[in-house]
Copies of this chain bind each other. A is one copy, B any other.
Amino acid sequence: MKDLPDIPALMARIGACARAAATELAVVPPEQKAEALIAAADTLIARQDAIIAANAKDMKFARDKGLSDAMMDRLRLDPARIAGIAEGLRAVAAQPDPVGEVLAEWDQPSGLHIRRVRTPLGVIGVIYESRPNVTADAGALCLKAGNAVILRGGSESFHSSQAIHACLQAGLQAAGLPEEAIQLVPTRDRAAVHEMLTMTGVIDVIVPRGGKGLVGLVQREARVPVFAHLEGIVHIYVDAAADPEKAMRVVLNAKTRRPGICGAAECLLIHRKIADTLGADLIRALIDAGVEMRVDEALSGIEGTVRASDEDWGCEYLDMVMAARVVGDLGLAIGHIEQHGSQHTDCIITEDDAAAQSFFDQLDSAILMRNASTQFADGGEFGMGAEIGIATGKLHARGPVGAAQLTSFKYLVDGDGAIRD
């Protein structure tokens, strides 16, 4: 699938263009960036037939490759989905511009006035898989934060991403911004990914969005800093002091609303005191809702359950399958989550404030919840607007990564001839 001969030279050119664009973008007024995003949204709607035609090529390629129905569904574009993508661009345009925001300001006894202001990060690399909408979402968020972005989409969504990318470029052009602000790597050659991962001094940070394979590759090979996006191995612990009605509502929603998103619950931990009562009710309700329940020995007497194997602990199903086990107490629940979780999102169901406090204090997941569905693990639901993903690392960005997390800051210091003693 080598489309272009010299990948290092191609990527070096793309990188140089991105750095030049980043310098320009850093001082662009908010309105101009918003104008580009709105023009891109308009273009997306105007060109929807062409986008759907490009997507049809990808769908054929995917069918020939024998992709799963779930993958095919992620790839598919139709007028409603294109309208959704355009809506997303308009929403990002309408958000407050993070660049230049004064994060803090104060005076020092020396007479200095110090401001800490948000700045763009610079050049962001986004490496993703089959969802073509990421082209628009990631491009828009990076632009909003004043960054240049190099997008590298999956080979399955190659034509769809190119068609969407052309709309973003039309938007940039309409607003008088450099087209190199949002570049899409124009080749399916995987050598381009390896190149991106080692472009230190050119790319400031890489955001990988995809499955275990991609994230693992990035973590092994990247010399450029990475915002880790591990899988969401989401646990719900139902405490002895859980309210049964809340537990039922939250657990069912967390597992079944959309089992394929990273905030979907994957493992249910049940306090032994309520295992035979609320615990059994929960498992029966999940089975009734169509969930395959893979349980430990203590729960295996419940009709319709399947015995879990060792691989079920710490497994991200992204499907109507859930692991469940009984734990002796809160400490053992925390221990299980530390051992098998992915520090993405974990939840406790309890009316006991002390238990909730321990859960919040002792666990170190990006998002910890009490009595709320883990499906809320989402930038929009957090009130941050669009997101590029949920970061599970602890450096710089954590949790939902929106435009504000794609920034850095600098200190601006005003004196009146102040000198240091």
Residues in chain A within 8 A of chain B (CB atoms) = 26-27, 106, 108, 110, 112, 114, 119, 121-122, 200, 204-205, 219, 225, 243, 245-246, 249-250, 252-254, 257, 356, 360-362, 364-373, 375-376, 381-383, 394-396, 398-399, 408-420
B366 touches A414 (CB 8 A): no
| Cβ-neighbour of A366 out of B252, B410, B419 (below 8 A) | B410
Report A104 CB to chain B, min CB distance, Å: 10
B253 touches A419 (CB 8 A): yes
B368 touches A204 (CB 8 A): no
A416 touches B371 (CB 8 A): yes
Chain B residues lying within 8 Å of A396, measured Cβ to Cβ, are 395-396
| Cβ-neighbour of A108 out of B106, B249, B373, B382 (below 8 A) | B382
B372 touches A413 (CB 8 A): yes
Task: Given A108-B382, A364-B119, verify A399-B411 contact (CB < 8 Å).
Answer: yes
18 more A-B residue pairs beyond the given contacts A370-B415, A395-B408, with a C-beta to C-beta distance below 8 A: A26-B362, A112-B372, A112-B381, A114-B382, A119-B364, A225-B225, A250-B418, A253-B419, A366-B411, A367-B413, A369-B413, A372-B413, A372-B414, A372-B416, A376-B418, A395-B395, A398-B408, A399-B411
Chain B residues lying within 8 Å of A416, measured Cβ to Cβ, are 246, 371-372
Dominant secondary structure of chain A at its interface with chain B: mixed
**A396 CA to B393 CA, complexed, in Å:** 12
29 A-B residue pairs with CB within 8 Å: A26-B361, A26-B362, A26-B364, A27-B362, A110-B381, A112-B381, A121-B395, A122-B394, A204-B394, A225-B225, A225-B395, A253-B419, A364-B410, A366-B411, A367-B410, A368-B413, A370-B412, A370-B414, A370-B415, A371-B416, A371-B418, A372-B414, A372-B417, A372-B419, A375-B420, A376-B415, A382-B411, A398-B408, A398-B411
| Cβ-neighbour of A410 out of B219, B370, B371, B399 (below 8 A) | B399
**A45 CA to B365 CA, complexed, in Å:** 41
Give the residue name and chain of the B residue nearest to A369 (CB): B413
Give the residue name and chain of the B residue nearest to A408 (CB): B394
Report A412 CB to chain B, min CB distance, Å: 5
Report A232 CB to chain B, min CB distance, Å: 14
Give the residue name and chain of the B residue nearest to A361 (CB): B27
Chain B residues lying within 8 Å of A418, measured Cβ to Cβ, are 250, 371-373, 376
Tell me how many chains of this kind the complex includes: 2
B373 touches A253 (CB 8 A): no
Task: Given A204-B394, A394-B121, A395-B395, verify A365-B410 contact (CB < 8 Å).
Answer: yes
| Residue of A26, A383, A420 with most chain B CB atoms under a 10 A cut-off | A420
Give the residue name and chain of the B residue nearest to A413 (CB): B369
Chain B residues lying within 8 Å of A417, measured Cβ to Cβ, are 243, 245-246, 249-250, 371-372
**A396 CA to B396 CA, complexed, in Å:** 4
Task: Given A112-B381, A361-B27, verify A369-B205 contact (CB < 8 Å).
Answer: no
**A383 CA to B113 CA, complexed, in Å:** 11
Task: Given A382-B108, A396-B396, verify A413-B376 contact (CB < 8 Å).
Answer: yes
Chain B residues lying within 8 Å of A249, measured Cβ to Cβ, are 417, 419
A368 touches B108 (CB 8 A): no
Chain B residues lying within 8 Å of A119, measured Cβ to Cβ, are 364, 394
Chain B residues lying within 8 Å of A257, measured Cβ to Cβ, are 419-420
**A365 CA to B410 CA, complexed, in Å:** 7
Chain B residues lying within 8 Å of A108, measured Cβ to Cβ, are 381-383
Report A26 CB to chain B, min CB distance, Å: 7
**A85 CA to B415 CA, complexed, in Å:** 30
Chain B residues lying within 8 Å of A409, measured Cβ to Cβ, are 398
A420 touches B364 (CB 8 A): no
